């Protein structure tokens, strides 16, 4: 059967061309790239990246059991008993037996002065006392002789053998010797008192510790002159050393008179030394000094340490928190965390809490800051682990890996 070529061409199906315009291909490529980027961003937002962080555990505030801080103040450690030890007499230092840091006992010899002059005076006084005692003994012997003569004269006088004039002479002689004995007795007592006085001068050349303590300053050297009074313009020392009774250390703080009503005797106090910012020391108020400083508008408060420690030294700076046991409960005291865990988001303080392998952003309420720690009253509970170091762009829900965990001191 013959079919014409024109008839076959009419039966052919027309197909569209596979070639797309270049502009349309670019639009399709951009759409695919945008979809891939969106998927990557979503994965990142869902915690696809892992951040290395350092964490610390929130702890219950233990400084004020059953109470809360009502007032903070700063002050210094002072010694209630401290003395610059000097000599009672002016003299040249012959020997110094102490150094800074030495613990001394009451009565222990600290130094000696040149005692040559005092020793000579003492020898002279003892010789004078010995001579007075010898004179007194001689007078006693003469009184015995005069008493015998008087008794003999009186006996002979009764027998009309001895004249009354001779009897009167023997009587006067006896009475004179007795008066002389009384005068010599007084002279001997004076000589003995002189021995005691010069002995005291001799003893004063030895400087002793007035109480148990620690030498904190050595102020004189052998060969220097020392005196109990100041010799203006000269090179005379007024002290040998300074001793501090470490058991008498306490805290002196100046409290603004506007807040002194928050302080009372025996009130519990928490002290933190500037030298040991992580060491919280229990203490209590001794007394409020009943006078104010009109220049500074402050009132001085004395605070005692509940326990002594060799790390506490005079003149150390200290921060104190006065505790009111009538305020707050165990739950209202809150927790404390390192200040490095705090972040600022607008006007809100926030922290990141590690939960599993992700972090949770939490808003917190700060009620106090002290020595690198922040007291949180809302938003955290004891045992929560907070991020103290990590990326600045840390996000809520991001996966994290704990690189280090800080331990509480």
Q: DSSP letters of 190-227?
A: HHHHHHHHHHHHHHTTEEE-SSSEEEEEE---TT-EE-
What CATH number is given for 68-80+245-324 in this structure? 2.40.30.170
Looking at residues 198-226, what average pLDDT do you find?
A: 91
- 160 burial type by CB count under 10 A (0-12 exposed, 13-18 middle, 19+ buried): exposed
Min mean pLDDT across 2-11, 108-117, 291-300, 383-392 is at 2-11
Give the pLDDT score at 346: 80
pTM for this structure? 0.54
DSSP 144-159: HHHHHHHHHHHHHHHT
Q: Which of 143, 145, 163 is nearest to 153 (CA)?
A: 163
What CATH fold (topology level) applies to the domain 83-114+205-244? OB fold (Dihydrolipoamide Acetyltransferase, E2P) (2.40.50)
C-alpha–C-alpha distance, residues 175 and 142, integer Å: 11
Domain 50-65+331-406 shares a fold with domain 68-80+245-324: no
Q: How many CA atoms lie within 13 A of 71 on its CB side?
A: 21
C-alpha dist (Å) from residue 25 to 15, 16, 22, 29, 31: 20, 17, 5, 6, 10
Give the pLDDT score at 328: 46
pLDDT tens-digit map of 142-178: 888 878 877 777 777 777 666 777 777 878 888 888 8
Residues 6 or more apart from 235 whose CB is under 8 A from it? Answer: 224, 225
Give the pLDDT score at 47: 47
Q: How confident is the model at residue 14 (pLDDT cuts 50, 70, 90)?
A: low
Cβ 384 vs Cβ 58: under 8 Å: yes
Q: How confident is the model at residue 5 (pLDDT cuts 50, 70, 90)?
A: low
Give the pLDDT score at 253: 95
Give the pLDDT score at 312: 93
Residue 395, pLDDT above cutoff 50: yes
| E strand intervals along 222-347 | 225-226, 241-244, 249-256, 268-273, 280-293, 298-305, 317-324, 335-338, 343-345
User: Which CATH architecture is the domain 50-65+331-406 placed in?
Assistant: Beta Barrel (2.40)
Mean pLDDT, the chain, rounded, equals 81
Residue 11, pLDDT above cutoff 80: no
C-alpha–C-alpha distance, residues 309 and 306, integer Å: 10
Tokens of 334: 């809150």
Tokens 């009503």 sit on residue: 261
Tokens of 186: 């007084």
Q: Which of 176, 181, 186, 202 is nearest to 129 (CA)?
A: 186
Domain boundaries, the chain: 50-65+331-406, 68-80+245-324, 83-114+205-244, 116-199
pLDDT tens-digit map of 324-348: 865 544 444 567 888 888 888 888 8
- Pairing mode of beta strands 317-324, 268-273: antiparallel
pLDDT tens-digit map of 300-330: 999 999 988 889 999 999 999 998 865 544 4
Q: How confident is the model at residue 6 (pLDDT cuts 50, 70, 90)?
A: low
């Amino acid at each position: 059967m013959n079919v014409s070529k024109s008839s076959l061409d009419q039966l052919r199906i027309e197909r569209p061309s596979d070639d797309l315009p270049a502009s349309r291909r670019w639009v399709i490529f951009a759409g695919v790239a945008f979809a891939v980027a969106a998927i990557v961003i979503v994965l990142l937002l869902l915690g696809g990246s892992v951040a290395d962080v350092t964490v610390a555990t929130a702890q219950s505030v233990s400084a004020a059991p059953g109470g809360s801080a009502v007032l903070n103040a700063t002050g210094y450690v002072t010694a209630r008993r401290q003395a610059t030890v000097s000599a009672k007499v002016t003299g040249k230092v012959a020997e110094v037996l102490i150094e800074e840091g030495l613990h001394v006992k009451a009565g222990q010899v600290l130094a000696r002065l040149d005692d040559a002059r005092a020793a000579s005076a003492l020898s002279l006084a003892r010789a004078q006392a010995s001579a007075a005692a010898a004179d007194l003994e001689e007078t006693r012997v003469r009184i015995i002789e005069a008493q015998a003569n008087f008794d003999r004269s009186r006996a002979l006088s009764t027998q009309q053998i001895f004249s009354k004039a001779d009897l009167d002479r023997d009587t006067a002689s006896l009475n004179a010797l007795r008066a002389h004995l009384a005068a010599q007795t007084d002279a001997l007592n004076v000589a003995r008192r002189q021995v005691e006085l010069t002995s005291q001068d001799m003893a004063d050349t030895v400087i002793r510790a007035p109480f148990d303590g620690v030498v904190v300053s050595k102020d004189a050297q052998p060969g220097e002159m020392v005196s109990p009074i100041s010799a203006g313009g000269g090179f005379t020392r007024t002290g040998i050393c300074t001793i501090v009774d470490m058991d008498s250390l306490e805290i002196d703080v100046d409290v603004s008179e506007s807040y002194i009503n928050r302080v009372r005797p025996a009130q519990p106090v928490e002290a933190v030394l500037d030298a040991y910012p992580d060491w919280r020391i229990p203490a209590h108020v001794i007394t409020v000094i009943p006078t104010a400083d009109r220049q500074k508008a402050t009132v001085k408060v004395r605070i005692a340490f509940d326990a002594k420690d060799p790390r506490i030294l005079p003149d150390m700076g200290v921060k104190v928190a006065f505790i009111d046991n009538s305020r707050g409960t165990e739950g209202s005291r809150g927790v404390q965390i390192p200040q490095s865990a705090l972040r600022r988001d607008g006007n809100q303080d926030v922290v990141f809490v590690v939960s599993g392998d992700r972090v949770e952003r939490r808003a917190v309420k700060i009620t106090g800051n002290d020595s690198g720690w922040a007291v949180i009253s809302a938003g955290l509970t004891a045992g929560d682990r907070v991020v103290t170091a990590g990326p600045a762009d840390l996000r809520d829900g991001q996966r994290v890996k704990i690189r280090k965990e800080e331990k509480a001191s």
